[in-house]
Structure 1
């Protein structure tokens, strides 16, 4: 009985630390927050923090993965009724952009002073790549290795978050003119 309780407590402690880090990142910026700051905000010792997250990068990765899973689930729900492949491509990007832009924590990752951290995480995260790869698989792209296309798709979304269009209409036009044809060209006819 104590095994499941210990696992549950571990999950709760990790979530509490991630919540504290998220709040600090929103207030101060990602690069400005140290592990001691997070431990203090989470109400734990640095030793406890390091028991869950070996360093700042591990903490950042865990937070990004948690948010990617959450946003990914919401995007899947948003596009569930969109069946046309071209519209589905546009809908997934628009949904992801809207959901990220609606949250101060997530917007923080795309500020200029955080660009290096964000770029590194976006390019190296198996969770982020997996979200995009699953989307491509759902379109019927039959590549043996969807990773290159998935990484490109992540870069499209990240670039629109870092350098948004003038408005939603301009972004939609760019997606329809450039992204949709590039992706649809990969679907076997």
Structure 2
């Protein structure tokens, strides 16, 4: 038996510790203002160790966002009602996602003025985030996880609400109900709806 039988588990724990330290710094100073050296110090490791787990700052950002996307996806699934009309389920999933991000200072930091561009770039190019959106489309009975164009559109709407919020939850729900729900449900939008 290998002496390093916990090797993968230790690597996972170390990477999580680094991502946790990065998250605290992101919440405190914004995503764009945090360097790799600062993250290494906060995590209690050397820069060499940090770079062994995350080759670039971009790789660290992607890993952080992907980890949080998976966490939010699980939270959405646990909070969505069973059954229901597909458009309403997707609207509810979108609103839950927005609320979860806004309620978490670490996640909300990505949507400050200095981090919004990076968040948009990552979200627009991330298979994990697209899959997250496609999964709740599939849960609502809309296509399957290969429903990429609709999933990308949903992600863009969520991002827009995080970057440029509505006046309140009621207004955001009304906009999503008016413009997203009918398209998800296959209904046509009327000009005076």
Structure 1 residue 185: Cα displacement = 1.5
What are the equivalent positions in structure 2 for 1:19-168 lying under 5 Å apart? 19-142=20-143, 145-168=146-169
TM-score normalised according to structure 1 size: 0.93
Structure 1 residue 3: Cα displacement = 4.1
Counterpart CA distance in 1 for 2:166 and 2:127 is: 27
Counterpart CA distance in 2 for 1:57 and 1:82 is: 39
Q: Which runs of 5+ in 2 are unaligned?
A: 188-193
| Matched residue, 2:190 | none
TM-score normalised according to structure 2 size: 0.91
**C-alpha contact 2:66 2:128 (8 A) present in aligned 1:** yes
Counterpart CA distance in 1 for 2:83 and 2:41 is: 45
Which region of structure 1 is more displaced relative to structure 2, 119-128 or 2-11? 2-11
**SS of 2:5's equivalent?**
helix
Which region of structure 1 is more displaced relative to structure 2, 133-142 or 41-50? 133-142
Counterpart CA distance in 1 for 2:108 and 2:86 is: 28
Counterpart CA distance in 1 for 2:90 and 2:11 is: 38
CA displacement, residues 20-75 of structure 1 (integer Å, 9 cap, x when unaligned) = 10011110111111100000110100000000000100000000011000011000
Structure 1 residue 90: Cα displacement = 1.8
Which region of structure 1 is more displaced relative to structure 2, 138-147 or 6-15? 138-147
**C-alpha contact 2:134 2:147 (8 A) present in aligned 1:** yes
Counterpart CA distance in 2 for 1:142 and 1:164 is: 29
The 3 A distance-change label for structure 1 pair 144 and 109 is: closer
Counterpart CA distance in 2 for 1:171 and 1:144 is: 26
Structure 1 residue 87: Cα displacement = 2.1
**SS of 1:30's equivalent?**
coil
The 3 A distance-change label for structure 1 pair 63 and 139 is: same
Structure ranking higher in helix proportion: 1
What is the RMSD of the two structures over their aligned residues, measured on CA atoms? 1.6
The 3 A distance-change label for structure 1 pair 160 and 62 is: same
Counterpart CA distance in 2 for 1:117 and 1:136 is: 25
**C-alpha contact 2:86 2:184 (8 A) present in aligned 1:** no
Counterpart CA distance in 2 for 1:147 and 1:69 is: 17
